[in-house]
Amino acid sequence: MRHSLPIVPQFYVTAPQPCPYLDGRVERKLFTALHGDNATQLNDALSKQGFRRSQNVLYRPSCAQCSACYSARIRVDAFSPSRGQRRIEKRNRGLTRQASTPWATEDQYQLFRAYLETRHADGGMADMDVFEFAAMVEETPVRSRMIEYHRPDPASAGRQELAACCLTDIMDDGLSMVYSFFQPDMQKTSPGTYIILDHIQIAREAGLPYVYLGYWVPGSPKMAYKSNFSALEIYKDGAWIPLEDPAAFGQPPAPGETAPISDQVARISLPDMVAPSIPAIKD
């Protein structure tokens, strides 16, 4: 008689490379493959432990001598927009939202290229071609949506043009914003902040308690905007805690020894492999 055993995720570590957030630091990631019938459960469980999804991989920073990256999420029921964020909502009232299955389009890719060339021309994604972009959007083993935002087309009365996009995962306890991008000429209206505010509204309507934002890195200008949101929590020392005073973190912690990889993996809580309950999201 044969017995089939649960497939236990295998964890690996990337080679060290320059940190994209802090000059002079070296980053390393702990990661595991995300595939099969249990992908949704694994994504839900590890996202609650500071992991992020990229296509069919889950990863989190595991740098040898640095622990400056904190996974961040917003508590939807406790969130209250600031005066500036309410102004941003008003400035973007002309945008209309449309959620669809994660299928890459030519319009999305052209918007993505314009966004990268203006804001991240020297970043790690700068050389992505249309096929790599399609893989980023479409290669998802979990429930994902491409949320598009449209605005009136100034070149054609009565028509709409693609203004912004956000690839979003739907988890059992929230929305995870995988990657967002927008028209470069919209920068003055703060579309990145608006997309987060709109995701908070989507989560509230769906009864989901959190919006996951990725990593917050004290001392990194690229990540500073995340601490502007109220009810922000960060994952620190194995638990989610309120980020009550971002200034208290000051500069990123000085390099120091971190726990061995084997100890880090041993502390990861893996899910029981049972059928997940997936919340409903309006498409």
Could you state, in order of their start, the residue ranges of all structural domains in the chain?
70-249
The pLDDT of residue 146 is above 80:
yes
pLDDT at 69: 92
Residue in 223, 222, 194 with CA at minimum distance from that of residue 119: 222
Query: Is a pLDDT exceeding 60 seen at residue 259?
Result: yes
The dihedral sign for the CA sequence 151, 124, 14, 74: negative
8 A C-beta contact, residue 225 and residue 195: no
pLDDT exceeds 50 at position 43: yes
Name the amino acid, one letter, at 42: L
**Least confident span in 40-49, 121-130, 131-140:** 121-130
Q: Which amino acid is at 247?
A: A
Residue with tokens 């203006």: 118
Q: Mind spelling out the 3-state secondary structure of the chain?
A: CCCCCCCCCCEEECCCEECCCCCCCEECEEEEECCCCCHHHHHHHHHCCCCEEECCEEEEECCCCCCCCEEEEEEHHHCCCCHHHHHHHHHCCCCEEEEECCCCCHHHHHHHHHHHHHHCCCCCCCCCCHHHHHHHHHCCCCCEEEEEEEEECCCCCCCEEEEEEEEEEECCCEEEEEEEEECHHHHHHCHHHHHHHHHHHHHHHHCCCEEEEEEECCCCHHHHHHHHCCCEEEEECCEEEECCCHHHHCCCCCCCCCCCHHHHHHCCCCCCCCCCCCCCCCC
Mean pLDDT of the chain: 89
pLDDT of residue 4: 45
- Average pLDDT on 225-240 reads 95
Mean pLDDT lowest for which of 36-45, 88-97, 255-264? 255-264
CA atoms within a 13 Å half-sphere pointing along the CA-CB vector of 230: 11
% of the chain with per-residue pLDDT over 90: 69
What pLDDT does 254 receive? Answer: 64
Q: What is the mean pLDDT of residues 136-145?
A: 96
Res. 268: pLDDT tops 60: yes
- Binned at pLDDT 50, 70 and 90, residue 92 comes out as very high
pLDDT band at 3 (very low <50, low <70, confident <90, very high): very low
Pick 249 or 176 by higher pLDDT: 176
Beta bridge partners of 59: 31, 52
From CA 58, how far away is CA 39, in angstroms rounded? 10
- pLDDT above 90 (res 276): no
**Exposed/middle/buried for residue 282 (C-beta within 10 Å: 0-12, 13-18, 19+):** exposed
Q: Is the dihedral of CA 111, 214, 47, 88 positive or negative?
A: negative
To the nearest whole percent, how much of the chain has pLDDT over 70? Answer: 89
Give dist(CA 16, CA 64) in Å, integer.
Answer: 9
Looking at CATH, the fold of the domain delimited by 70-249 is given as Aminopeptidase (3.40.630)
